[in-house]
Amino acid sequence: MARIVSRLDVGGPGYAASRGAMLTSLGEIDGLLAAVVGGGGSGGTNLAKDAASVAKLRSRGKLMPRERIGLLLDRGSAFLELSPLAGWGTDDPLGGGLVTGIGTISGVQCVISANDPTVKGGAQGQTSVAKGLRAMEIARVNRLPLISLTESAGADLPKQAEIFVPGGASFKNLTRLSALGIPTITLVFGSSTAGGAYVPGMSDYVVLQKDSARVYLGGPPLVKMAIDEDADEESLGGAEMHARVSGLADYLAADEPDALRIGREIVGHLNWRRQGPGPTRASVPPAYDEDELLGIASADVRVPFEVREVIARIVDGSEFEEFKPLYGTTLVTGWAHLGGHPVGILANNGILFSEEAEKGAQFIQLCERHEVPILFVQNITGFMVGTRYEQGGIIKDGAKLINAVSNSTVPHLTLMVGASYGAGNYGMSGRSYDPRFVFTWPNHRIAVMGPKQLGGVLEIVARQRTEAAGQAFDSAAFAPMREAFESQVEAQSTALYATGRLWDDGIIDPRDTRTVLDLALQAIHSATVQGSNSYGVFRM
């Protein structure tokens, strides 16, 4: 396999500018992440209130969710936190008051989901529900045990209308995971009431913390209202009661560390066996410095860059066996290893033509046959338009690619390193095509098309309508409207906007790309890797 020869000019002005812009973006993201980790839920906008929430938690001797996760994980385990900035740009607290991620417990790679009790008491809003459902989906498709660290005030009542119906799927998902043989373990540290009571209720294993866990359908006020009974919290849903009387608890934990200890022991006895193949060779670092990933992609997604420079800095030994290098050259396809796992890679160098679509469809079929996971690296401004291309059948060819992607059964990983415009997003296994994971660089932009093009299209349509009515189109008068629209599209196509709405599984530092994909590949291989085999490979 040939090593990619890098032609990146690390001394050039373009590199320095891109790197500077990337570091600025990362600085902004780091600030947001620090606010999420700090707790409280204001996203850094109300530090005094956040500090008060955290102080209240500390005063009760309780731990922050990431501290709980730290005790649960094996010493030295990595923790890949998912969608930490979910909720950005929405009414919901940044991060959604829920921490989700992948880490190793007692030697078993698991999905972990933990409420942040300092954020609205762990109450669930739209973002929390979406994030929780996504964590369950990741557990299901990758066959990873799910551990929930629960301390939640239940539904965020002012937002009940937004979450009541979709939120119900959580309980269904838990039992479906169980039916699939994927263990579900819930450790309850505090309140887990009303609908929340079904989280322990539907789990395979339930650990309740003594003197702290409260699990009931209705608390004292509701019970008083409903049946005029005076009941105390311990009798209704205390940990001791559930451990000794109702039997809801399988284990009674003395304190938080004890609950986490029990959680570790449960995972330890699951007799868990990974079903996917392990790495086929030793992991070798890339030949080029991962730090240089900062300066490859411009902050302006309209500036093209060579995607092989990205591949060279994420795959083992920078070695890449390119498939059809001379045909359909704006789509780079080929074979590599990442963390010792074989991967097939489809990576864009800009726009897709018919040749690229057919090449991609053919390559995906080969990955299916070889049962090799596929990494899609998206930097795509869309499918080519124009008479020549329409007449050349670009819809048919694009359909072949989308067909191949849609019906591919090997796991997909999607990495957003620049633009993701138009149907190219679909052809390259965008979020709605169910890749196992989607990770995004900070410079990423996603929309039906670029803001400038959309603004131009809007103006042309307006001009045509005006002129059809026999009036003169005043371009200058239309300009503010066009600018407003363009900036709205720009704002709605940023990486933060996308991650805020869970269109990805998180924005990552480009320097972490290889590590993140390595961990994701490990997660994928907890389940079998199986290709579809209805036809032979179509040569296109």
Least Å distance between CB 289 and other proteins? 12
Tell whether residue 168 is a contact of other proteins (CB under 8 A): no
**DSSP-based three-state secondary structure for 294:** helix
- In order, the DSSP letters of 395-419 are HHHHHHHHHHHHH--S-EEEEEEEE
Options 70, 219, 220, 456; binder of other proteins; rule CB under 8 A? 70
Burial 54-89 (b: 16+ CB within 10 A, else e): beebeeeebbbbbebbeebbeeebbbbbbbbbbbbb
Least Å distance between CB 409 and other proteins? 24
Hey, how many other C-beta atoms are within 10 angstroms of the C-beta on 423? 19
Q: Considering beta carbons, is residue 2 or 254 the nearer one to other proteins? A: 254
Which region, judged by CB under 8 A, interacts with other proteins, from 101-109, 131-139, 193-201, 464-472? Answer: 101-109
Tell whether residue 84 is a contact of other proteins (CB under 8 A): yes
Tell whether residue 76 is a contact of other proteins (CB under 8 A): yes
Beta strands in 22-97 (DSSP E): 79-82
Which region, judged by CB under 8 A, interacts with other proteins, from 70-78, 163-171, 197-205, 486-494? Answer: 70-78
Tell whether residue 518 is a contact of other proteins (CB under 8 A): yes
Least Å distance between CB 99 and other proteins? 8
Which region, judged by CB under 8 A, interacts with other proteins, from 79-87, 112-120, 369-377, 489-497? Answer: 79-87
Tell whether residue 202 is a contact of other proteins (CB under 8 A): no
Q: Considering beta carbons, is residue 289 or 490 the nearer one to other proteins? A: 289
Tokens of 318: 């920078």
Cβ–Cβ under 8 Å, residues 265 and 72: no
Options 20, 31, 268, 325; binder of other proteins; rule CB under 8 A? 268
Give the strand pairing for 205-209 and 251-253: parallel
Q: Which of residues 276-305 bind other proteins (CB under 8 A)?
A: 278-279, 282-283
Burial class (CB in 10 A: 0-12, 13-18, 19+), 137: middle
- By residue count, the chain amounts to 540
Tell whether residue 123 is a contact of other proteins (CB under 8 A): no
Cβ–Cβ under 8 Å, residues 411 and 373: yes
Options 20, 27, 107, 158; binder of other proteins; rule CB under 8 A? 107
> Which run of H or of E encompasses 341?
strand 341-348
* Per-residue three-class SS string for 161-192: HHHHHHHCHHHHHHHHHHHCCCCEEEEEEEEE
Options 157, 226, 254, 537; binder of other proteins; rule CB under 8 A? 254
Which region, judged by CB under 8 A, interacts with other proteins, from 6-14, 74-82, 240-248, 496-504? Answer: 74-82
Least Å distance between CB 38 and other proteins? 8
CA distances from 521 to 26, 197, 518 (A): 24, 34, 5
Tell whether residue 339 is a contact of other proteins (CB under 8 A): yes
Least Å distance between CB 264 and other proteins? 6
- With vertex at residue 11, the alpha carbon angle to CA 6 and CA 15, rounded to the nearest 5 degrees, is 75
Tell whether residue 89 is a contact of other proteins (CB under 8 A): no
Terminal CA-to-CA distance of the chain, rounded, Å? Answer: 25
CA distances from 233 to 62, 194, 222, 343 (A): 19, 13, 11, 54
Least Å distance between CB 519 and other proteins? 7
Which region, judged by CB under 8 A, interacts with other proteins, from 73-81, 354-362, 373-381, 453-461? Answer: 73-81
Q: Which of residues 7-66 bind other proteins (CB under 8 A)?
A: 30, 33-34, 36-38, 58, 63-64, 66
- In order, the DSSP letters of 41-52 are SSTTS-HHHHHH
Q: Considering beta carbons, is residue 172 or 281 the nearer one to other proteins? A: 281
**DSSP-based three-state secondary structure for 539:** coil
Tell whether residue 258 is a contact of other proteins (CB under 8 A): yes
One character per residue 415-444, x = contact with other proteins (rule: CB under 8 A): ------------------------------
CA dist., res. 11 & res. 196, Å (int): 56
Residues that bind other proteins (CB under 8 A): 30, 33-34, 36-38, 58, 63-64, 66-67, 70-71, 74-81, 84, 104, 106-107, 253-258, 260-262, 264-265, 268, 278-279, 282-283, 339-341, 506, 508-509, 511-512, 515-516, 518-519, 522
